[in-house]
Amino acid sequence: MREAEAEWTGLMRSAISGDDAAYHRLLKAVTPILRAAARRGLARAGQPVDQSEDIVQDILLAVHLKRHTWDANAPFAPWLFAVARNKLIDSLRRRGRRVFVNIDDFAETIAGEPAAETASASEVAAQLQSLPARQRDVLQSIAVDSASIKDTAAKLAMSEGAVRVALHRGLATLTARLREE
Amino acid sequence: MQTDQLIRTLAADNAHRARPVGFALALALLAAAPVSLVMFFSALGVRPDVMTAMHDPFFDFKFAVTLALAISAISASLHLSRPEASLRGWGWLLLIPAGLLIAGIASEMMMPQRLPMMTRLVGSNSKICMTAIPLLSLPLLAAALVGLRHGAPARPAVAGALAGLLSAGLAATLYASHCTDDSPLFVASWYTIAAALVTAIGALAGSRMLRF
């Protein structure tokens, strides 16, 4: 568990210095833990656990858009769990219950959680359709069609810079809409 | 959408770098400052005897208190914009302006008095003080909230309250140069009530605006 956390911190530091692959690995590594905690939170609130993937995606978006608030000299796990806890409480509250989430919910699961299969959720996908056309096209191309930024730029007749801007704005808009829901 | 797809998309956006929260806060406050300054100079202005007043330690003392409030609230709000942060170890920062006020009141008590205590406490500007500080702080409060939205506070209402305190501190700094009531007793009562009002507005607005 300690080792996993130390590894995350290292991956996040690499990510911030521009290593996209390290960032990808980090997000993949933390997702099963976030998923297990989301399920536990839903179960405790007496709600169907099949909504857990919406919460996981919500947390991942928040991690992505708020990662500049992480202090690179501090360990990554406490920051991650604070973000996750905040989003989990928020989601449960939106679903109509007041619940207390224990920070240990996250820490406990680090050891020996089976690498879960990838799962699908509907909220992000639904909001994707409501984005401005350009942001939607770019996100669609990169997320759903697995195209690279370069290929997306060629396909949509945009510059790579414009694709990057639309990608980031799209993610930010998506997150804002999910929050307002 | 598959979570794997989302993860790949987020990784593709890794190159995007957000500015630090402190930068966003500074930028927002700098943009709003002219609004408060125009409000101040068109409605109130600096008191006419400011050149002589500057030699009165109790006049200067007001700025020490209001700036201490603004600076400590700015530091605490930036600290709290990190999700894992708590006020523990930082709350004492906010005691600095309160401690200064107590020291100011005590030292005034030891001076030979020109005016009775109640006169100093009630002053002659309490109504203007209670109106001007909240009004001058509103543009700054809005700016502080916009800047702090860049962060990820776990307790949005507390972060909003700090935004209220910091804007009240800045607005009170302006107002102090207009006000002719220099007694620390006056500052401790009326400035505090005005700041508390702005803090409450900030907490309310923050609990909505600063969720992430």
Reported as a single tens digit per residue, the pLDDT across B21-40 is: 999 999 999 999 999 999 99
Mean pLDDT of B139-147: 98
Q: Which of A21, A125, A179 sits opposite B211 (nearest CB)?
A: A179
Distance CA B208, CA B212 (A): 10
Q: Which of A68, A79, A146 sits opposite B84 (nearest CB)?
A: A79
Distance CA A115, CA A3 (A): 17
Distance CA A31, CA A83 (A): 13
Mapping DSSP to helix (H, G, I), strand (E, B) and coil, where does residue A120 land?
Answer: strand
CB contact under 8 A, B6 and A148: no
Confidence check: pLDDT of A178 > 90? no
pLDDT of residue B167: 98
What are the chain B neighbours of A55 within 8 Å (beta carbons)? none
Mean pLDDT of B160-183: 95
**B2 in Cβ contact with A35 (< 8 Å):** no
Do A155 and A73 lie in a common domain? no
Confidence check: pLDDT of A161 > 70? yes
CB contact under 8 A, A60 and B7: yes
Ranges A33-37, A51-55, B137-141, most confident = B137-141
Distance from CA of B155 to the nearest CA of A (A): 9
CATH number for the domain including A157? 1.10.10.10
Do A128 and A51 lie in a common domain? no
CB contact under 8 A, B4 and A78: no
**B7 in Cβ contact with A60 (< 8 Å):** yes
Confidence check: pLDDT of A1 > 80? no
**B162 in Cβ contact with B145 (< 8 Å):** no
Do A130 and A66 lie in a common domain? no
Domain around B187: 24-107+118-209
Reported as a single tens digit per residue, the pLDDT across A120-160 is: 788 888 888 889 999 999 999 999 898 999 999 999 999 99
CB contact under 8 A, B7 and A31: yes
What are the chain B neighbours of A78 within 8 Å (beta carbons)? 84
B55 touches chain A (CB under 8 A): no
Do A103 and A168 lie in a common domain? no
CB contact under 8 A, A164 and B21: no
What percent of chain B lies above the pLDDT cut of 90? 76
- Mean pLDDT of all residues in chain A? 87
Q: Which of A79, A120, A149 sits opposite B1 (nearest CB)?
A: A120
> What is the band of A45 on the pLDDT scale with cuts at 50, 70, 90?
confident
Interface test with B, best of A86, A123, A129, A136 (most B CBs within 10 A): A86
Q: Is residue B205 part of a domain?
A: yes
Distance from CA of A95 to the nearest CA of B (A): 16
Domain end marker among A109, A136, A153 = A109
Confidence check: pLDDT of A111 > 50? no
Domain count for chain B, please give it.
1
Domain around A22: 2-109
b/e burial code for range A37-46 (CB count within 10 A of at least 16 → b): bbbbbbeebe
Q: Is residue B1 part of a domain?
A: no
The two three-digit tokens of residue B114, written as one number: 């020109």
First to last CA, chain B: 22
Do A55 and A97 lie in a common domain? yes
**Size of chain A, expressed as the number of residues it contains:** 181
Confidence check: pLDDT of A100 > 60? no
What percent of chain A lies above the pLDDT cut of 90? 61
Q: Which of B4, B15, B18 sits opposite A118 (nearest CB)?
A: B4
CATH number for the domain including A30? 1.10.1740
Domain end marker among A61, A80, A109 = A109
Reported as a single tens digit per residue, the pLDDT across B108-137 is: 888 887 788 788 888 888 888 999 999 999
